[in-house]
Structure 1
Amino acid sequence: MKVVSLVPSITEALFDLGLTENEVIGRTKFCIHPGDRIKNVPIIGGTKNINIDKIKALQPDLILANKEENIKEQVEALMDDFKVTVTHVETVEDNYYLLKTLGNIFNKEEKAQLFNLKIYEVLEQTKLDAPVKAAYLIWKNPYMTIGSDTFIHHILSDIGFENIFKDQTRYPEIQMEDLADAEVIMLSSEPFPFKEKHIEEMRVFYPDKKIMIVDGEAFSWYGTHIAKCEAYFKGLLAEIHAIQR
């Protein structure tokens, strides 16, 4: 089966499940994993600006899209000519069924189940001893955070953080003063590429808070990615435990 993936984390999952460049025939420019194998797969634009003509030229049997990451009108235009599966992943349970579905589609049921079991194991074995109030920022100018109906929120919660914006939804804009209740401020490496200089800017307002850059992929890439984040999460939680003592 020839497939085009419009979702970076799903592209990674397809290769993790055992598909090859002969089956994954199209990807977005943000599909960067696995780096050694993805380089041979043609790029069909970005997640928000798909080149429909390029996809038509590839003639895939299936296109994999996502409700949040892709533009509805572009996906609907593809549906006129191709079979399109639109995914929506908000919780770890949603992710379980995503991998189960991919396993069924591509006859990789056993591998999909192994990844699902590993993800639950990682989340079960990497937990804070006591909840820590956290703010997770995804954007600057304006500052934006995450509400309770996001995959990031559920990963944060599963490893023991309390999202101080859990009473909000989607990706609300916030002001610097809204971060006052956070014990830890997390600046994600994506989609906005927060750097050390942004930590220093925040320290002017919050000199005593723990402010840190976190790996955005570890929190936002659903599919198989979290199965590979055990060491990262353990290192992150060790840092938090250090400030709790």
Structure 2
Amino acid sequence: MRVVSLVPSLTELVWALSPDVLVGRTRFCLEPDAVRLIPAVGGTKNPDVAAIAALAPDLVIANREENRREDVEALRLAGLEVLVTDPNTVDQAMAVCVEIAARLEVPERGFEMGREATSVLREPLPKRRLRVFVAVWHEPLMGLGSESYGHDLIEHCGAINILAGQPRYPEITLAEVARLAPELILLPDEPYPFKEKHLEVYESIAPARVIDGKVLWWYGPRMAESMRILRRMFSEASG
């Protein structure tokens, strides 16, 4: 089996499941460090179709949000099989892990990732559900709405997403955020590179924290630990 992954989180997943099958990645696929030795075939938005085809992969793994439809179509026109993932809930993310593990002929490893995450979900939730705002972009300010893995993860970890019911990544003003009365603001360092210097703007509304974006957006081998991190954070913040 030969696999090319066009998504950083899925590259990490493939490596965790069966590292020997990975023959190509994007230049943004840098986790774990060992994958940097794998040939890069362009970026997530501009993969080099010819370079990918030259690697003769049995499977190319992409994501509906991360990768462009025209690139997926070009890869398929080149005769390559492309698996396009689109998990918008925790359960769907677990299913992706199981599906990819099955395709790589290591099904038990996928089931084990799901079991570990499910075990964390069975642990007691924080006593009080904290109202949380997650910033996705700074200028214009965009937040995390519904219909996304990150939203469902937050809800599963015992918090209330104040933008629940809104589109996936709605634009919003600071005044509107304030009116929704969050008790904690999360500033993930991806896709926008939030840093400590941004805290002052948001802390005028509520306590804010810069966090590793992979906790919110990446599933796979780090899913269970991300749940533990968020549950601990929400529990501490809710008192």
Q: 1:228, 1:159 → 2: CA distance?
A: 12
* Structure 1 counterpart SS, 2:38: coil
Unaligned regions of 5+ residues in structure 1, if any? none
| Higher deviation after alignment, 74-83 or 47-56 | 47-56
Is 1:200–2:200 an aligned residue pair? yes
Q: 2:124, 2:28 → 1: CA distance?
A: 28
Q: 2:47, 2:124 → 1: CA distance?
A: 37
Map 1:95-114; keep pairs closer than 5 Å: 95-114=93-112
TM-score between both structures, scaled by the size of structure 2: 0.93
Matched positions, count: 236
Which of 214, 217, 222 is the matching residue for 1:220? 217
Q: 1:75, 1:141 → 2: CA distance?
A: 30
Q: 2:125, 2:17 → 1: CA distance?
A: 27
Q: Who is 1:158 aligned against?
A: 156
Q: 2:86, 2:227 → 1: CA distance?
A: 24
Is 1:64–2:61 an aligned residue pair? yes
Which amino acid counterpart does residue 164 of structure 1 have in structure 2? Answer: I
Q: 1:195, 1:150 → 2: CA distance?
A: 23
Q: Who is 1:6 aligned against?
A: 6
Q: Who is 1:123 aligned against?
A: 121
In the alignment, is the contact (CA less than 8 A) between 1:127 and 1:237 conserved in 2? no
Map 1:1-245; keep pairs closer than 5 Å: 1-20=1-20, 23-35=21-33, 37-81=34-78, 82-125=80-123, 127-180=125-178, 181-203=181-203, 205-206=204-205, 209-229=206-226, 232-233=229-230, 235-241=232-238, 244=239
Offset of residue 230 of structure 1: 5.3
Identity of aligned residues (%): 35
Offset of residue 228 of structure 1: 3.3
Offset of residue 103 of structure 1: 1.8
Q: 1:79, 1:32 → 2: CA distance?
A: 25
* Structure 2 counterpart SS, 1:229: helix
Q: 1:138, 1:155 → 2: CA distance?
A: 15
Give CA-to-partner distance per residue, 1:8-62, whole Å, 9 cap, x none.
1111111111332xx2011112212111x21111111111121212212212111
TM-score between both structures, scaled by the size of structure 1: 0.91
Q: 2:141, 2:98 → 1: CA distance?
A: 35
In the alignment, is the contact (CA less than 8 A) between 2:187 and 2:210 conserved in 1? yes
Unaligned regions of 5+ residues in structure 2, if any? none
In the alignment, is the contact (CA less than 8 A) between 2:4 and 2:60 conserved in 1? yes
Q: 1:151, 1:5 → 2: CA distance?
A: 19
Offset of residue 63 of structure 1: 0.4
Q: CA, structure 1 residues 79+5, in 2 after alignment: closer, same or farther (shift >3 Å)?
A: same
| Higher deviation after alignment, 64-73 or 11-20 | 11-20
